[in-house]
Each structure stands twice: as C-alpha cells, then as structure tokens.
Amino acid sequence: MSTDLPESYGSPPDPHEPPAAAPSRRTFIATTSAVGGAVVAGGLFAGAPFATEEAAAAVTADAPPSSRLSLTVNGERHTTEIDNRTSLLDLLREQFGLPGTKKGCNAGACGACTVLVDGRRVNSCLTLAVRLDGADVTTIEGLADGDELHPLQRAFVEQDAFQCGFCTPGQIMSGVGCIEEGHTGSHEEIREWMSGNICRCGCYVKIVRAVEQTARGK
Ligand code: FES
Ligand code: FES
C-alpha cells in the first residue's frame, strides 16, 4: 500500500457547519421546550384522563406549534403540516418515505444525512424543515435518472468506494456538491472539502478517487 494514502480526510473546517451565531436544532428545541413546555406537558399528560375541561384545554393550548410547508423534493412538490421542531432529515425519512438519507449521529458530526438544498449541501439533521418553505431539495433517491445512475454513483461502484454503505448516500451527495463547487483540484482539496463526511469503514482513499474520476469526467 502506498504510504501517501490517508487514513482519514483530516480535520479542516466543516463546510456543513452553520455559522456560530445560528441556533442549532438542539438549542432551538431546548428553547422551545423551556418557553412553551409543550414537550414535557405532552409527555406527562399522555394517556392520563383530564380532571377538568380546563385542564384538557390547557394541554391543547400547549400543543407544539405547527406550520404549513411547501417544498420540492426530487422534483416532486409536497405540501404538508409539520411540527415546527421537525428536522429535514425526519421529514424526509418519516413523512416522505425517503429512507436513503441516513441518520448517523443526528448531531451534525458525521455527514451521513447530507442532502442538497437549492444546490447547496447541508446536514439535514441540523436543518429545521420549517425554514425550507419553497426550497428545492435533492436526496440520494433523486440522483439517478431511472435506471441510469448518476456518474458519481457509477464511480463509487467502479472504485469500490464503500463497505457497509451506511455513510455512502451522504458521501455521494456531498461529493456531488464538492464537484459542483469546483473543489476537486487535487486529492488534498477533495479530502478537505469532503471532511464533514465520516466513514467508519475507512473508505476514504476510494471515495476520493470516485470524486476525482467524476470531476474529470473519466
Ligand atoms: S446524522 Fe446528520 S451529521 Fe450525522
Ligand atoms: S462504508 Fe461503512 S461507514 Fe462508510
């Protein structure tokens, strides 16, 4: 094995991370719960009879805030009512039946949940769906054209760039973004701009080759 093969992408700045000032999903939910008490109230009262109509009305008033959302996913328009705390990842997997986007850490650390929003890669576990009214989302299910795989999907197969495959949808979506952004001038540049995507199986060398192959149109 060549000695210059990387064991990981390294740890440059994560291009998926939101700006420091932006609230994370976790802090948003903590704030929502602290102010409204909806989560705690819902949990405590679930299944228990209400002593008075006033008590029942109070719980109804504490129901989690919801919003109507319209967005396009893989070319298909969706309009739905969602709990404002719903992440894009949960919306895709649990409401839209698109389990290709994986839930790894659910905390913005692994990149398994990467999708494209208006052409820009994001960690869907950290993205509140309610903020995406009118957005255009692409997931791994939307890359292929029928039976015709996207060139990067083909390159992953040809380069054998996965083992368990759990990180692969996120790696491919991030790779598509990386190529679109033009961050493919060298192996080092690809590694840096793919550094937000972790692979426990350690397939980094072949993933970089697959991204490079696609970027060069080989
Ligand atoms: S599941 Fe979103 S970054 Fe890990
Ligand atoms: S192929 Fe197993 S985690 Fe990446």
pLDDT at 46: 40
SS3 120: strand
Closest CA to 32 of 82, 83, 80: 83
**CA of 200 relative to ligand 2 center, distance in Å:** 5
The Cα angle at residue 125 between residues 119 and 127, in degrees rounded to 5: 55
pLDDT at 1: 40
- pTM for this model (two decimals): 0.76
> Which residue's alpha carbon is at the smallest distance from atom 3 of ligand 1?
108
Residues lining ligand 2, judged by CB closer than 6 Å? Answer: 162-168, 199-201, 203
> Which residue's alpha carbon is at the smallest distance from atom 4 of ligand 2?
199
Q: Is 103 exposed, middle or buried (0-12, 13-18, 19+ CB in 10 A)?
A: middle
Ligand located closest to 113 CA: 1
**CA of 196 relative to ligand 1 center, distance in Å:** 9
The pLDDT profile of the chain, 218 residues, written as one tens digit per residue, is 444 444 556 554 455 555 444 454 444 444 444 443 333 323 333 444 556 677 666 666 678 899 999 999 999 999 999 999 999 999 999 999 999 999 999 999 999 999 999 999 999 999 999 999 999 999 999 999 999 999 999 999 999 999 999 999 999 999 999 999 999 999 999 999 999 999 999 999 999 999 999 999 95
Architecture of domain 66-142: Roll (3.10)
Architecture of domain 151-215: Orthogonal Bundle (1.10)
pLDDT at 167: 98
pLDDT at 121: 98
